[in-house]
Structure 1
Amino acid sequence: MENTSVGGDVFFVLMGAILVFAMHGGFAFLEVGTVRHKNQVNALVKILADFALSTVSYFFVGYFIAYGTHFFISAAGLSGAVEGFELQGLSLVKFFFLTTFAAAIPAIISGGIAERMKFAPQCFATVALVGVFYPLFEGIVWGGNLGIQAWLEASFGAPFRDFAGSIVVHAVGGWIALSAVLLLGARTGRYRPGGGMTGIPPSSIPWLALGSWMLCVGWFGFNVMTAASLEGVSGLVALNSLMAMVGGILSALLAGRNDPGFVHNGALAGLVAVCAGSDILHPIGALVVGGAAGVIFVYGFAWCQNRLKIDDVLGVWPLHGMCGAWGGIAAGIFGAEALGGMGGVSLASQVIGTVMGVVYALAAGAVVYGVLKSTTGLRLSPEDEMRGADLSIHKIGANPEAEIRGV
């Protein structure tokens, strides 16, 4: 009976890991549809290469920093013969699951720095961020490291709650991306010397939409299967994720005046925001949280691009950074029993944890990308940027046969 129970948990977590892994395809196609045609191959290669680099750096370094566990023992030990590793490799599929979360950090950043970032420096940044900087914060929130969660609970009645990563994954990724984008600078020709802005339309709305759909489907693995066991799984998380998603779609539809880019990203904004409190919110509360996130994304994107002149190509700072921060705070508001939530959450802890994540991410991004800028440089040359990252970096375009015929 014990083996059957463990086997069920192994399969459950494995399916969650596969669903979140599939989300990385969503990241890729969301970027493919948003960037210009000459940068589509680069978008695909970046996301896949970043996932591979993330897995290796997290396996050898990052997971140990976050949870104090290493894999330098026999295969039998890894499968449960040694204390600290669960039977039938349950610990191993949990690692796989958490790796897909860690790899979301460079996948998020990729959308902000698209179309003008060198390839090798981004690879170096991925290794540093996923191997060191991300797991340091992950270990504080989910591993209980440094006693910060214990201090919050003792001081305010509850630790910082981030059930599925509004802050740990999304806000951290989004605010690191802001540092990277500021250091990198805008795409050539994006902003005119007199203050105007050159419109750069998406290359493919269908590819953009496909990316959004892939992310939405995988997100139910991201949120629901964070429970990490069949015994702990909750249908409330699934319903809250659904309600937040549709809330984000509808509010972005209205605020964005039917713009398809806003609508498809609105779904993601709602899902980003609900991660933190998806296990404690009432579904109506989740709908409100997601709806607010859709509005935050639409107006945050316009403010970022038009007022601040920050060329964040996919809007990852407003989508993951702003909406993630909103989700962390919203869990402390709508998770309260007075608003129909499950309780067991402190608004003060949520605000402190959220601010801590934002400040840490900005600093981490400034350090990593600042060092790379001063050593290897970050940007493609003006000539390579004009030519496009596909031909400049990968020596092939998105439609090689058609391009050859066109010569």
Structure 2
Amino acid sequence: MQAALSGGDVFFVLMGAVMVLAMHAGFAFLEVGTVRRKNQVNALVKIIADFGVSTLAYFFVGYWIAYGVSFLHGADTLIRGDNGYGLVKFFFLLTFAAAIPAIISGGIAERARFYPQMLATALLVGLVYPFYEGIVWNAHFGIQAWLKGLFGAQFHDFAGSVVVHAMGGWIALMAVRHLGPRRGRFGKDGAVHAIPPSNIPFLALGSWILVVGWFGFNVMSAQRLEAALGLVALNSLMAMVGGLLAALVMGRNDPGFVHNGALAGLVAICAGSDLVHPLGALAIGAVAGTLFVYVFELQQYRWRIDDVLGVWPLHGVAGVWGGLAAGIFGQQVLGGRGGVSIMSQLLGTLLGVLIAALAGYIVYGLIQRLIGLRLSQEQEYDGADLSMHKISAYPEEDTSRSR
């Protein structure tokens, strides 16, 4: 019976890992559809290369920092006693860690050099992300115990609104600030020049892949078959719908806002998906979709921050809202399950933002200063595809035109 239970847990978490792994295709196609044609190949290569670097950084360093687990043992030792559950748990949590550079990639698209970004990925996934992950999900440094003693509950982030999404979004904001805007995006006279997406169907495809995979991201965060909750699935659905409908209205039917609004709702529900009532999830998603549209327009048109995919409003801002919303809508008076503190949510969220912003500023600042982070003017004009990968997304079509 124990072997059957262990095998069930292995399969459950493995399916979650595969679903979140598939989300990286969603990140890739969301970026492919948003950037210009001359940068589509780079978007695809960046996401998969970042995943490879993330795997090594997390396997050798990051997972040990977060959980104190090393894989430098014999294979028999690694699977002994639990059918290798610890190995698929690593795989599952790796897909979360690798989401950090995938998020950042969308913000810095079209002007960042390839290998400096790979270096940043190794540092962030190997050192920065697991440092905060260990605090929240493995009770490092006694911070969770301190919050529980002071406010009656630990900081609660069931599936990573703050640990994954806010962390990635706020690091991306620092990277974008170091890089500066794409050439031609903002005029000296204060004008904002539109750079339209290259392919709306690819953008929509990326969003749909992410939406489907997100149910593995959230539901399988229980990490044990017996702990899985149908409430998490329904709350994820309701938050997604709330986000997309709010963005539909606020974004005046813009397809980019609609498809990203659904993702904003899912980002926000991660933290409290196991706590809140489905109507609370709907409200959380609606606020997240509204915030995304409002902050994206402020960021692009008033603050003149060229965050290509809007990853800071989508992941950074909606992630912060999700951390706070778990403390608000998780209260029993609002239909939640209770056991959560608004003050613990506030302080835990602020800690994540502080670590992410400081680390992003330092890591990308040092890389920019020491080896350079940005493409040259000529490379940016030609596009990252030809400059870095020596091939375009449509080589046969381009060859035909040149004839």
The one-character-per-residue Cα deviations of 1:317-353 (angstroms, maximum 9, x if unpaired) are: 0000000000000000000001000000000000001
DSSP-derived class of the 2:304 partner: coil
Matches of 2:14 and 2:400 in 1, distance apart?
Answer: 45
- Equivalent residue for 1:35? 35
Q: Is residue 171 from structure 1 mapped to residue 166 from structure 2 by the alignment?
A: yes
- Equivalent residue for 1:395? 390
Matches of 1:322 and 1:57 in 2, distance apart?
Answer: 27
Matches within 5 A, 1:32-71: 32-71=32-71
| Counterpart selection for 1:125 from 113, 117, 120 | 120
Q: Is residue 257 from structure 1 mapped to residue 252 from structure 2 by the alignment?
A: yes
Matches of 1:144 and 1:356 in 2, distance apart?
Answer: 14
Matches within 5 A, 1:228-307: 228-307=223-302
The one-character-per-residue Cα deviations of 1:143-169 (angstroms, maximum 9, x if unpaired) are: 110110010000000000000000000
DSSP-derived class of the 1:195 partner: coil
- Equivalent residue for 1:20? 20
DSSP-derived class of the 2:227 partner: coil
Q: 1:104 Cα shift?
A: 0.1
Q: 1:364 Cα shift?
A: 0.5
Matches of 1:111 and 1:274 in 2, distance apart?
Answer: 21
What amino acid sits opposite 1:187 in the alignment?
R
Q: Is residue 312 from structure 1 mapped to residue 307 from structure 2 by the alignment?
A: yes
Matches of 1:39 and 1:317 in 2, distance apart?
Answer: 21
TM norm structure 2: 0.99
Q: Is residue 116 from structure 1 mapped to residue 111 from structure 2 by the alignment?
A: yes
Q: Is residue 203 from structure 1 mapped to residue 203 from structure 2 by the alignment?
A: no
Q: 1:359 Cα shift?
A: 1.0
| Counterpart selection for 2:348 from 343, 346, 353 | 353
DSSP-derived class of the 1:215 partner: helix
Unmatched segments (≥5 aa) in structure 2 = none
What amino acid sits opposite 2:319 in the alignment?
G
- Equivalent residue for 2:82? 87
Matches of 1:368 and 1:394 in 2, distance apart?
Answer: 25
TM norm structure 1: 0.98
Matches of 1:51 and 1:38 in 2, distance apart?
Answer: 22
What amino acid sits opposite 1:92 in the alignment?
L
The one-character-per-residue Cα deviations of 1:305-326 (angstroms, maximum 9, x if unpaired) are: 0111000000000000000000
Q: Alignment identity in percent?
A: 66
Q: 1:404 Cα shift?
A: 1.0
What amino acid sits opposite 1:169 in the alignment?
V
What amino acid sits opposite 2:333 in the alignment?
A
Q: 1:230 Cα shift?
A: 1.0
Q: 1:406 Cα shift?
A: 1.1
What amino acid sits opposite 1:305 in the alignment?
Q
Unmatched segments (≥5 aa) in structure 1 = 81-85
- Equivalent residue for 1:83? none
Q: 1:87 Cα shift?
A: 1.2
**Aligned residue pairs, count:** 402
Q: 1:229 Cα shift?
A: 1.1
Q: 1:116 Cα shift?
A: 0.2
* Regions of 4+ moved over 2 Å: none
